[in-house]
């Protein structure tokens, strides 16, 4: 089972790299979209600082979501889904492995890149660590919850628009507590309660999302 | 003594339409079931039903007398399914695709080389699948059958795109699997033959 789990993670990472850096596209989107803000609202530090954390979170959310619509669709299109469904690994763990690979190539990279972009948005330095912590806890939730939507929409035409309509509302709690954790620290309050809530969301998503995704994939296999 | 794989009164509904009903058969070790019928008669649906992807609308499927529904994970580990879509990643090489399948289905890595050789894919092992022809891809999908030992092979028109030599190899592989007590269920339009098979005509 461990071998099958590792094989799925490695395969997905390898595919991301082989397809000319497919996996880096969400991160590039994140960087480029963020660079537009100082151009759009002007470089005044007080404005950028005010909106910086919120903008980083919203863009992280969009970057993860944009990269999700091929998560299962590619496997469904080429018949790999049948292979995955007949492996020694239960479909629940298959979805967890795929989510883990997806998070490594998006969420983790976004977390590491966030402080660099925070500089661009004039976010104060003491916010860097809370921002990274919040993204570290929040981004896997985005992947896991979004994975349910991606699994439900296997086979749907115009899936990416529908995916946004379906999962963006579900991302709202992560956004609220993610921004809250960082702003709490900046304003001298503790961001700890919000971080703990993000952690609780992560545990809940880890426990529940694989079952929902696997159920959706079983429907797609029919 | 119950047969290894037994189907009783199977029925299948797709999108509210009755595809087939009252399908029954019993397979003992070494048997081959050949499904025949015009397009849309339910050959693929029956194979997907045997694989457990699709739940029957009626009837029962038993393995050694036990209903398949009672232990889904055990049934999953018995089945090799080769459908119309090959389940190959075009960015990976032939060997990478096959070793992924072996990792997933619990096969031995030592079996990969012989599996590739059986279908004349040895020289193509390090070639990315996107450079392979349709027939070569089909052969690679079939090589997965040998990557891990599983008793029930479900083959959906496996001869499509294969040349005469490869079809011969496939038939030999099927007979070899049956000689070891394996089961084969095969949908075909007559291009792949099995020795004294159990024929099932799915007709209108």
Residues of A in contact with B53 (CB under 8 A): 82, 85, 221-222
The string of DSSP codes covering B97-152 is HHHHHHHHHT--GGGHHHHHHHTT-GGGTTSBGGGS-HHHHHHHHHHHHHHS--SE
- Residue A120, class by beta-carbon neighbours within 10 Å (0-12 exposed, 13-18 middle, 19+ buried)? middle
Cβ of B103 within 8 Å of Cβ of A18? The answer is: no
Query: DSSP assignment, residue A23?
Result: G
pLDDT reported for residue B138: 93
Residues of B in contact with A80 (CB under 8 A): 87-89
pLDDT reported for residue B204: 65
CA–CA distance, A83 with B102 (Å, rounded to integer):
10
pLDDT reported for residue A131: 92
Cβ of B89 within 8 Å of Cβ of A78? The answer is: yes
CB proximity under 8 Å: B 145-204 to A: none
Residues of A in contact with B81 (CB under 8 A): 82-83, 86
Q: Where are the beta strands (DSSP E) in B28-88?
A: 32-36, 58-63, 66-67, 79-82
pLDDT reported for residue A201: 95
Interface of chain A toward chain B, CB-CB under 8 angstroms: 3-4, 6-8, 11, 14-15, 18-19, 77-90, 221-222
CA–CA distance, A204 with A198 (Å, rounded to integer):
10
Residues of A in contact with B76 (CB under 8 A): 85-87
In this complex, the residue of B86, B91, B105 whose CB is nearest that of residue A86 is B105
CA–CA distance, B86 with A166 (Å, rounded to integer):
31
Nearest to A31 by CA among A104, A107, A117, A108: A117
Cβ of B87 within 8 Å of Cβ of A83? The answer is: yes
CA–CA distance, A37 with B169 (Å, rounded to integer):
62
Q: How far is B105 from chain A (nearest CA, A)?
A: 5
pLDDT reported for residue A24: 78
Q: How far is B99 from chain A (nearest CA, A)?
A: 9
Cβ of A85 within 8 Å of Cβ of B76? The answer is: yes
Please give the angle made by the CA atoms of B140, B143 and B146, to the nearest 5 degrees: 165
- The answer to whether the CB of B111 falls within 8 A of the CB of A22 is no
Residue of A nearest to B51 (CA): A86
- The answer to whether the CB of B27 falls within 8 A of the CB of B6 is yes
Cβ of A86 within 8 Å of Cβ of B87? The answer is: no
Question: What pLDDT digit, counting tens, does each position of A121-134 carry?
Answer: 888 888 899 999 99
Three-class SS of residue B54?
A: coil
- The answer to whether the CB of A135 falls within 8 A of the CB of A112 is no
- The answer to whether the CB of B186 falls within 8 A of the CB of B175 is no
Cβ of B106 within 8 Å of Cβ of A222? The answer is: no
Structure tokens at A73: 């669709």
Residue of A nearest to B54 (CA): A222
CA–CA distance, B181 with B104 (Å, rounded to integer):
23
Three-class SS of residue A221?
A: helix
- Residue A134: how many other CB atoms lie within 10 Å: 30
Give me the phi and psi of A168, to 5 degrees please. -60, -40
At a CB cut-off of 8 Å and minimum separation 6, what does A79 contact? B83, B84, B85, B86, B87, B88
Cβ of A19 within 8 Å of Cβ of B83? The answer is: no
Structure tokens at A169: 């509302």
Segment (H or E) for A83: helix A80-85
pLDDT tens for the 222 residues of chain A, in order: 888 899 999 999 888 888 766 777 888 888 899 889 888 888 888 888 888 889 999 999 999 988 888 889 889 988 899 999 998 899 999 999 999 999 998 899 999 988 888 888 888 888 899 999 999 999 999 999 999 999 999 877 777 788 888 899 999 999 999 999 998 888 888 888 999 999 999 999 999 999 999 999 999 888
Residue of B nearest to A18 (CA): B91
Q: How far is A209 from chain B (nearest CA, A)?
A: 20
Residue of B nearest to A215 (CA): B53
Please give the angle made by the CA atoms of B121, A13 and B102, to the nearest 5 degrees: 40
Three-class SS of residue B80?
A: strand
In this complex, the residue of B80, B88, B100 whose CB is nearest that of residue A78 is B88
Structure tokens at B166: 């490869």
Split chain B (204 residues) into runs of 10 and give each run's mean pLDDT: 82 86 88 88 89 88 87 88 90 92 88 88 90 92 91 90 90 92 89 83 76
B36-64: b (≥16 Cβ within 10 Å) or e: bbeeebbbbbbbbbbbbbbebeebebbbe
In this complex, the residue of A18, A19, A79 whose CB is nearest that of residue B85 is A79
A/B interface, count of CB pairs below 8 Å: 78
Nearest to A196 by CA among A211, A212, A184: A184
pLDDT reported for residue B154: 93
Structure tokens at A141: 């939730």
């Amino acid at each position: 089972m461990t071998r099958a789990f590792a094989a799925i993670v490695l395969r997905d990472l390898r595919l991301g790299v082989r397809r000319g850096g497919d996996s880096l596209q969400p991160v590039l989107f994140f960087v480029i979209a963020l660079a537009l803000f100082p151009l759009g609202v002007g470089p005044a530090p007080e404005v950028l600082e005010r909106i910086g954390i919120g903008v980083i979170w919203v863009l992280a959310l969009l970057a993860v979501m944009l990269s999700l619509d091929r998560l299962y669709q590619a496997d469904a299109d080429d018949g790999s889904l049948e292979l995955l469904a007949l492996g020694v690994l239960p479909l629940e763990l298959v979805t967890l492995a795929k989510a883990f690979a997806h998070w490594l190539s998006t969420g983790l990279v976004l977390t590491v890149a966030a402080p660099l972009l925070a500089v661009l948005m004039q976010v104060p330095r003491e916010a860097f660590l809370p921002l990274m912590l919040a993204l570290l806890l929040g981004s896997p939730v985005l992947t896991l919850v979004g994975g349910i939507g991606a699994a439900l929409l296997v086979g749907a035409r115009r899936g990416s628009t529908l995916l946004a309509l379906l999962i963006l509302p579900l991302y709202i709690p992560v956004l609220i507590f993610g921004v809250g954790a960082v702003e709490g620290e900046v304003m001298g309050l503790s961001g700890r309660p919000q971080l703990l809530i993000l952690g609780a969301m992560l545990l809940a998503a880890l426990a529940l999302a694989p079952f929902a995704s696997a159920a959706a994939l079983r429907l797609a296999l029919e | 003594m119950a047969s290894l794989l037994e189907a009783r009164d199977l029925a299948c509904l797709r999108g509210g339409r009755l595809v087939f009903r009252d399908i029954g058969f019993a397979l003992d070790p070494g048997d081959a079931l050949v499904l025949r019928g015009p397009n849309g008669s339910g050959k693929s649906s029956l194979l997907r039903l045997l694989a457990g992807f699709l739940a029957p609308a009626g009837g029962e499927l038993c393995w050694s007398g036990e209903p398949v529904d009672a232990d889904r994970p055990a049934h999953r580990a018995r089945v090799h399914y080769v459908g119309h879509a090959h389940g190959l990643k075009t960015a990976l090489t032939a060997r990478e695709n096959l070793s992924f399948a072996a990792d997933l289905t619990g096969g031995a890595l030592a079996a990969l080389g012989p599996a590739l050789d059986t279908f004349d894919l040895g020289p193509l092992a390090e070639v990315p699948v996107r450079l392979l022809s349709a027939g070569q891809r089909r052969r690679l999908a079939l090589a997965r059958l040998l990557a891990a030992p599983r008793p029930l092979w479900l083959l959906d028109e496996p001869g499509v795109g294969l040349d005469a030599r490869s079809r011969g190899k496939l038939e030999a592989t099927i007979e070899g699997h049956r000689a070891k007590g394996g089961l084969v269920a095969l949908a075909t339009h007559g291009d792949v033959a099995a020795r004294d098979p159990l024929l099932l005509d799915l007709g209108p």
